[in-house]
Amino acid sequence: MKKIKPYLIEIIIFLLVILWVYTASSKLIDYGRFKVQMHNQTIPPLLATILIYTLPAAEIITAILLLNKSTKALGFYISASLMLVFTAYIGLVLTNFFGRIPCSCGGVLQVMNWPAHLVFNLFFLLLTFYGSYHVYRERRDARTS
């Protein structure tokens, strides 16, 4: 298993980088649509406006952090945080917490319904938790040896 683990972490990093670059670029390529979709979400308009500018940048920065050995841990922690927030939001949408169901995200994810999107996010959330835990243990073991 020890020989497989480094490859597994690299595969997880690859998948996360693809996810973050894809989601950021789909927002930036169709920026007008992204702005409309964000303002259709069940969040305050000011928060939507802030996220319109910060979310694509955060996704790109997170992908870059994951690719650098010295910032990989931070990349995993930010990935886990983003996925946790996105997954919690989808959970709230599905429980009708907001009283209405907004339109879904753009890009390929747009063809997913909300339950499928929840499963997709849970999968990536588990990957980020596994990667974060592995990187944490790797750093801890390096300090103690």
Residue 56 has pLDDT above 90, yes or no: yes
Ramachandran angles phi, psi of 55, nearest 5°: -65, -50
- pLDDT, residue 1, reads 54
Residue 144 has pLDDT above 60, yes or no: yes
Average pLDDT of the chain to the nearest whole number = 90
Model's pTM, two decimal places?
Answer: 0.89
CB neighbour list of residue 16: distance below 8 Å, 6 or more residues apart: 62, 63, 66, 75, 76, 79, 124, 127, 128, 131
Distance, in Å, from the CA atom of 132 to the CA atom of 77, rounded to the nearest integer, reads 6
Confidence of residue 137 (pLDDT cuts 50, 70, 90): confident
Q: State the amino acid at position 115 in one-letter form.
A: P
The answer to whether the CB of 52 falls within 8 A of the CB of 35 is yes
Residue 83 has pLDDT above 90, yes or no: yes
Tens digit of each residue's pLDDT (9 = 90 or more) over 11-42: 999 999 999 999 999 999 999 999 998 998 88
